[in-house]
Amino acid sequence: MWLKVAKTAKRLLSLMLCIGVVMNADETESASFKLHPPEFYFSNSKDLALLEAAFKGNDTKAHELVAKGADPNAEGPTSNPYNRLRLLHYAIAKNSSKAVTVLVAAGADPEMDTIGGAGSPFHFTLSLDRIEMLSLLLDLRPIELLSDDTLRHLLFESVVLSRPRCLELLLKKGVPIDFPDKSGHTSMMRAMDAQDFDLAEWLILNGASVHTEANGGMTPAYSIQYDLQKFRPGTPTHDKVLRLKKIMEEKGVVFPAPSPAEVRDKRVPK
């Protein structure tokens, strides 16, 4: 888990260096940007014209340009194998909902990954904590149309990157709260892994199951049991974990919890 956090942090740093992120002293929710002009990233005249049409909100012109060969998923700078942006990334970085709407209508794919640190436009938006932009993207590409990989990425990166507003939005838009990662852990279990016990409690109180089992046999109950032994009684962290244990007991969880090995053994047909 912590290796994943480190990799995510490294990718986010690369993203910030790529686009020139500057955090204002009084700014706590999102980043401001010092982007290069579009010509720095994109060299094809048709692609540049498409981006210009998008910023003007000219949907008709955008479709005409695509029909003539403009690429709505153009990526650049092509001279740099790292830290590239697509047209949609550029529109997101400029926080232009108008341009984003036109580009997606013209064929820009918000799930398409890119070389370097920016990731997909969805990841890019999540990393920047742009809640309004994420909401727009989810209107343009609804939850039911997203791939499972994208759903997992958005849900679990919201936990890893500590984006509670984005997580709440995803759930409101219809992402199942117990949607598992590939190892069978839920976002609530990953929140506990990250020791974000406030988020774990919020997820439970909003419907996350406390009776899930990961592929390897880990359960929320065993995780809590382990943490109660790990943290010193009387500390704020221990108190939070103890509160989670009480909430779980109210929801029918029995302690002591079986170990992952015991859970796996019960799955084996006798």
Q: What is the tens place of the pLDDT at every residue in 226-243?
A: 999 999 999 999 999 999
Give the SS3 label for residue 75: strand
Buried b (16+ CB within 10 A) or exposed e, 101-140: bbbbebebbbbebbbbbbbbbbbbbbbbbbbebbbbbbeb
Global confidence as pTM: 0.83
Q: Which CATH architecture has domain 182-269?
A: Alpha Horseshoe (1.25)
pLDDT at 9: 44
Q: What's the sign of the alpha-carbon dihedral 246, 247, 251, 255?
A: negative
Q: Token pair 């995510």 is at which residue?
A: 8
Distance of alpha carbon 210 from alpha carbon 19, whole angstroms? 41
32-90: pLDDT as tens digits: 556 899 999 999 999 999 999 999 999 999 999 999 999 999 999 988 877 789 999 99
The runs of H, that is alpha helices, within 20-113 are 38-41, 45-55, 59-67, 87-93, 97-105
Interaxial angle between packed helices 97-105 and 59-67, expressed in degrees from 0 to 180 and rounded to the nearest 10: 40
- The answer to whether the 7-19+34-175 and 182-269 domains have the same CATH topology is yes
- Residue showing tokens 């079986």: 258
The arrangement of secondary structure in 7-19+34-175, i.e. its CATH architecture, is Alpha Horseshoe (1.25)
Distance between CA 175 and CA 7 in Å, rounded?
Answer: 24
Distance CA 199, CA 179 (A): 16
Q: How many angstroms separate the CA atoms of 22 and 121, rounded?
A: 19
| Structural domain spans, the chain | 7-19+34-175, 182-269
Is-contact 89 113, C-beta < 8 A?
Answer: no
pLDDT of the chain along its 270 residues, tens only? 434 444 444 444 444 444 444 333 233 334 555 689 999 999 999 999 999 999 999 999 999 999 999 999 999 998 887 778 999 999 999 999 999 999 999 999 999 999 877 899 999 999 999 999 999 999 999 999 999 999 999 999 999 998 999 999 999 999 999 999 999 999 999 999 999 999 999 999 999 999 999 999 999 999 999 999 999 999 999 999 999 999 999 999 999 999 999 999 998 775
Report percent pLDDT > 70 for the chain: 87
